[in-house]
Amino acid sequence: MRLHAIIIAMSLTSLFGFEAQFQGDTLKGSLGDILFFGWDIHHPEGAQLTFSELDLEGTGIEVLDRELTHIEGGSSLRFNTAIYDSVGVYTFPSSIVYLEDSNGLDSLFLRGPDLEIASILTPADTTFRDIKDIHNIRTPINLVLVLILILVFVAAYLIFYLLRRLNTSRVQAKPQKIIVPPEEAHIIALRAFESLKRSKYVRFEQFKDFYSELTHILKQYYENRYLVDALEQTTSEFLITMNSMVEFDTELINETQELLEKADIIKFAKARSDELESGKALNLGIDIVNRTKIQSNQGDNT
């Protein structure tokens, strides 16, 4: 790897114009510096790109952000990374990009670059020097006497401050506590659903994280709304709880079961999902909250 703005043509150029060019913006830095690099992936218009998972376990590399944007003639994949462990050369894990279009399925191998982390210390900082003798500095001021005077002034000020506070508290009435009512369960849940909708889980095909967050929000809503211990129960245990309560009708139980079991398959059985299916699951969770929320009492119209 070289310094900034290195461009390396990657291998495996397909017959349909599918190729990648490495863009090494910054590959050298110090501990904690943000290093920028990525690939410009040239592919036919309308092609669908997917990426293999990065295995960063034990590499010492932390990915701060990954962004895939559209550029003329293809897409741009950019990484923001940092290293906090120690100086040296770190090899970023390689990955595979898959392309699917009307011509079929194709793939490219993206070889990870070497990231060089240098020490911020200069040679002078690491040079050992002889210990100098202790020098006595004479001053015309008696430091012990000055220290005693300072302590006396501090003690006098503290006594004055405490007496003043005591007199003030006797005169003033005790301030009234302001009690802020907690937010209603549906407000908390709908705000969390909106934040999940704006997240990048679906965009980067992180469906396991998406469904984990989705089911957590829904179970937390049930806890706050119906005072049940939903978060501590498995899906089957919670469904038993719902069937035992008159507050839940058959339609609500079936919809909740459909959503939670689908999420379990994706989280634990590593089943595939897509943007359409994830959007339907999110809309179902929002619909459940809107249908079961406590309705505010409206004033009588005259």
Assigned domain for 135 exists: no
- Cα–Cα distance, 121 to 192 (Å, whole number): 45
What are the tens digits of pLDDT across the range 40-67? 999 888 888 898 888 888 888 999 899 9
Domain boundary among 64, 99, 117: 117
Tokens 């939670």 found at: 260
Nearest Cα neighbor of 213 from 229, 227, 200 is: 200
Residues 106 and 189 in one domain: no
Residues 107 and 206 in one domain: no
What pTM was computed for the model? 0.41
Assigned domain for 145 exists: no
For residue 116, the SS3 value is strand
| Structure confidence at residue 25 (pLDDT) | 79
CA distances from residue 118 to 30, 69, 85, 92, 256 in whole angstroms, order as listed: 5, 31, 12, 16, 53
Domain boundary among 69, 84, 117: 117
Domain that residue 236 falls in = 185-292
CATH code assigned at 50: 2.60.40
Average pLDDT in the chain: 83
**Count of beta carbons in the 10 Å neighbourhood of residue 15:** 7
What are the tens digits of pLDDT across the range 165-217? 887 766 555 555 665 567 899 999 999 999 999 999 988 989 999 999 999 99
Assigned domain for 127 exists: no
State the pLDDT confidence band at 235, using cuts at 50, 70 and 90. Answer: very high
| Structure confidence at residue 256 (pLDDT) | 94
Any idea what DSSP says for residue 124?
Answer: G
**Total domain count, the chain:** 2
Domain boundary among 86, 117, 148: 117
Residue 16 near residue 42 (C-beta atoms within 8 A) = no
Residues 206 and 285 in one domain: yes
Residues 15 and 113 in one domain: yes
